[in-house]
Structure 1
Amino acid sequence: MASTEKDKGNRRVTIREVAEDAGVSVAAVSKVLRDAYGVSDTLRAKVRQSMDALGYRPLAAARGMRGQTYTIGLVLPDIRNPFFSDIMTGVNNALERTQYRALIGISQSSATGEMAIVEAMIDRQMDGIILIGATEDRANLDAIAARKPLVAVGHHEPDITTFDTVNNNDQQGGQLVVRQMVAAGYKRIAMIGLKSTTSTILAEREIGYRRGMIEAGLGSAINIVQESQTLRDVQITARRMLQAPNRPDAIFCWTDFIALEVISVATELGLRIPEDVGIAGYDNTVYCDFAQNGLSSIDQSGELLGLQATRLLIERIQGRSQAEHFVVPPRLVIRRSTSPG
């Protein structure tokens, strides 16, 4: 029976039709789809042009049965933190000229939720996984890496051999913030961290803060307050700190997302920034540069972290087994929030 126009619109274009349109063999199209070695740029361009013209889309399930789906899993702890969008931009830019596509899962900073997402990604035969700000412990990360190529963004363990890591030098970043605050005249510098038992990022930033304070002769004034990332909890904590009899004259926040809320609370209490209290964040997200914020922050190059994580993951998928650990040096961007007078 002849196909109707509606039938043609609903059915999937086949690899044979792509080959006929491009004037090449089915085997040639298959090589392009597999990114096989030895495919010329001319052949690749010709096949891609036919695929675009015909609307051809490889069937992920069928590709999975052949061993590769060309999808990677990207697991984020939160979608509210604008820094993660910088990482996602880097991931997307790295994938732009490849066949790979990223599918995203949000764990809500829950170890249980994170593992459930990872299991779902493995069940769906994704080729590899990028974990950002992982809440898993070393044993679980090793177990994941034994099943799928894995890159962890924001996990400090340089002796790892089973998976790759991409990090900022978080310890150095914490020191840079304290040094600048001390140079600006602040003495009672506190830090707001995150309630977490597994985050090596937080541990490194806290070490950097402590070292910076001791280096400046302010070891007795070390004050680290750990709080959840829930805005209401951050507001309550910031208000309690800023209304204390011997309140901090500066606060280093583990991320811009928290620092911006601290600015809001300080402003609501009638405190002048930076004269009454200096505030600094971490990540140098786009909101730091807004005039009403003027937030000093550590730039850890989120887009570069995403690019490098994707590069390492694809190399892992393609067979590299030796672990690599990429570290980005931090850069402090000083703005009005820590520059009194």
Structure 2
Amino acid sequence: MAKNGAEKRSRRVTIREVAEDAEVSVAAVSKVLRDAYGVSDALRSKVRASMDKLGYRPLAAARGMRGQTYTIGIVQPDLRNPFFADIMTGVDNALERTQYRTLIGISQSSTDGEVAAVDAMIDRQMDGILLIGAITNRGNLDAFARGKPLVTIGHHEPAATLFDTVNTNDQQGAMLAVRHLAANGYKRIAMLSLNSDTSTIIAEREIGYRRAMMEAELGRHIQVVHSAQTPREAQITARRMLEPASRPEAIFCWTDFIALEVISVATELGLRIPQDVGIVGYDNTMYCDFAQNGLSSIDQSGELLGLQATRLLIERIKGRDEAEHFVVTPRLVARRSSSRR
């Protein structure tokens, strides 16, 4: 008997059993599963109640054969940057009342890793792809978009026609950071940037940094230092930048994740923040508010980016083919790390 009970618990409930429990037709259950047009709220509630009662779960592979799996693939560079958690909150909020579920792939900030992750998601018949911080080329992105609906977050491609983009105005964000530091009396303002030849958000932020430095008549102090994204490399680079002979008065970091490493190194070296060195990050993640950090940062509304990207992706899945390019206006949130006046 115990064996039979275990077998019964492990066996997948069928759509026919759901129909029998709900006292409706198999076709009616199928319509609810497909969110078909014309299904009444009463029928939907009745069928859903039976699904919950019986523990019914649609088989993704079978749904894929019928044309839709209700899964969305999300590819992001890594799991360490807290900004990606903000984006995921927006994604989850957008999907809260839908049947869609997400699966995450990590590219390790590698073009090959990015391509491999997207290809795997297409092979597994996911309905659409959200690509965060894309570093691959336009040809690959167009190829992805021909295979599945695609929306990118953190990739500036305003002329793209096959996929949608969701971004912050990164030039403006960098300019806000420099203007804030200059207004607080800093002149030798350096930028700690990502070592990347393909990231469009990094290119935009560097342009914004240089523009603002020139506008503030601080062009002679322009200094862009590049580092890999790993904590160890960021620490090594920060330590080199903070040596007495070459130390800038302030550092604008391309992301909070790196700015927090700079704060850690500066504190270890006995430097006072913001008196000896001012620091501004980018993303305004939750860790900026911690008392020991007090990190000034550019807020690019991560939840909003995730929410809007998911909205656009679902529209594409449902058939929209005209490209949309959504841009968020950034704002600076000033805290202790940059306010020495």
2 CA distance for matches of 1:325 and 1:25? 43
Mean CA deviation greater in 290-299 or 15-24: 15-24
> Which string of whole-angstrom CA distances, capped at 9 and with x for unpartnered residues, describes residues 14-69 of structure 1?
11111122222211111111111122222212211111111000001111111111
> Which string of whole-angstrom CA distances, capped at 9 and with x for unpartnered residues, describes residues 94-131 of structure 1?
11111110000011101111111111111111111000
Counterpart of 1:127, as a letter, is D
2 CA distance for matches of 1:45 and 1:186? 61
Counterpart of 2:309, as a letter, is A
Mean CA deviation greater in 17-26 or 295-304: 17-26
> Which string of whole-angstrom CA distances, capped at 9 and with x for unpartnered residues, describes residues 162-220 of structure 1?
00001011110000000100000000000011011110000111111111111101111
1 CA distance for matches of 2:241 and 2:271? 12
Q: Give the 4+ runs in structure 1 shifted more than 3 A.
A: none
| Alignment of structure 1 residues 282-301 onto 2, 5 Å | 282-301=282-301
| Alignment of structure 1 residues 87-106 onto 2, 5 Å | 87-106=87-106
Partner of 1:249: 249
Alpha-carbon distance, 1:242 to partner: 0.9
Mean CA deviation greater in 283-292 or 5-14: 5-14
Partner of 2:190: 190
Counterpart of 1:132, as a letter, is I
Partner of 1:141: 141
TM-score (norm 1): 0.98
2 CA distance for matches of 1:43 and 1:322? 34
Partner of 2:180: 180
SS at match of 1:4: helix
The answer (yes or no) to whether the contact 2:177–2:332 under 8 Å persists in 1 is yes
Matched, 1:307 2:276: no
Counterpart of 1:197, as a letter, is D
2 CA distance for matches of 1:251 and 1:6? 61
Partner of 2:321: 321
2 CA distance for matches of 1:268 and 1:61? 53
Partner of 2:75: 75
Count of residue pairs the alignment pairs up = 339
The answer (yes or no) to whether the contact 2:242–2:248 under 8 Å persists in 1 is yes
Partner of 1:17: 17
CA RMSD of aligned residues (A): 1.1
Alpha-carbon distance, 1:4 to partner: 2.9
Alpha-carbon distance, 1:244 to partner: 4.2
Counterpart of 2:152, as a letter, is A
TM-score (norm 2): 0.98
Partner of 1:280: 280
Alpha-carbon distance, 1:263 to partner: 0.4
Counterpart of 2:261, as a letter, is E
Mean CA deviation greater in 33-42 or 126-135: 33-42
Counterpart of 1:248, as a letter, is P
